[in-house]
Amino acid sequence: MRPVIIAANWKMHTVPSEAGPLAATIAARTADPDVSRVICPPFVALADVRDALAGTGVAVGAQNVHHELAGAHTGEVSAPMLVGLATWVIVGHSERRRDNGETDELIARKLDRARDAGLRPILCVGEQLAEREAGRAEAVVDGQLRGALAAALRSDAGPAPDLVIAYEPVWAIGTGRNAFGSDAAAMADAIRDTLGRIGFVDGGAGMPILYGGSVTAANIGEFLAEPAIDGALVGGASLKPDEMAGIVGRAGVTARARLAAVG
């Protein structure tokens, strides 16, 4: 059975002095052994959050990683630098694609670095509004997956064995437009279809797929009601303990229902 995962992306919020206490509060408010929880703070707060979460069962993730191991890349952070600070990493987030011009080829290299360092990657994919309105949503996501994963599948090492994919409908993030659970489920099915076509052994059936589009405690139930969706990549709401308590609480209900269904 696929795990149920709630990952918090704090983006460019919190300073180290407040990040640790906030992480500890969220960990205490979301204790649920059936849900995998991850908090991804800014780079400068990784150590504080790591220390605050020690013994809580909540993992720490980084929000990005560089595609080279070392070199003249001022301001960047490599995968070896993250070892000991984080065990997860977000790769290819829509804001990185938009603001930093990250291409699928570059994202593929980042996935390779994460795999080699033993970091568990959350690969983000998703379409813009114009692409959805043109009927190209699934084609766009298919291309992103092929670009990010095909090279790894051709290599001896293969893709990270514990890869997670987050579907981000960019048109539903902070725009006032809402995606429905059925939208996310249809894309999750399309993602697994692509994974099967490009060579994943189980046809993508075992791949955890998260929804990441303005997730809140009020709407998480609609997405987790879909069997194809295995959790969420949470943005702004992940900075609010009450919201996270509601999101993880609902995720726990889903996880236990799925466990009961398989006996």
* DSSP conformational letter for 161: T
Q: Are 134 and 91 in contact (CB under 8 A)?
A: no
Domain of residue 96, CATH code:
3.20.20.70
Residue with token string 């919020």: 13
Mean pLDDT, rounded, of the chain: 95
* The predicted structure's pLDDT at residue 164: 98
Q: Which of the following is catalytic: 95, 168, 226, 243?
A: 168
Residue 91 in contact with residue 111, Cβ under 8 Å?
A: yes
**Tell me: the pLDDT tens digits for 99-158?**
999 999 999 999 999 999 999 999 999 999 999 999 999 999 999 999 999 878 887 777
Judge contact between 50 and 88, C-beta under 8 A: no
What is the number of domains present in the chain?
1
Can you state the angle between helices 46-53 and 16-29, rounded to 10 degrees?
Answer: 30
Give the residue-averaged pLDDT of 88-95.
Answer: 97
Domain boundaries, position 187:
5-261
- For the chain, the C-alpha Rg in angstroms (whole number) is 17
Structure confidence by residue, pLDDT tens digits, 32-68 = 999 999 999 999 999 999 999 999 999 999 999 999 9
91 vs 9: CA distance, rounded Å: 12
Nearest to 148 by CA among 87, 204, 92: 92
Decide if 168 is catalytic.
yes
Point out the catalytic residue in the list 66, 67, 93, 102. Answer: 93
Residue 66 identity (one-letter amino acid): H
- Residue range 172-201: average pLDDT? 91
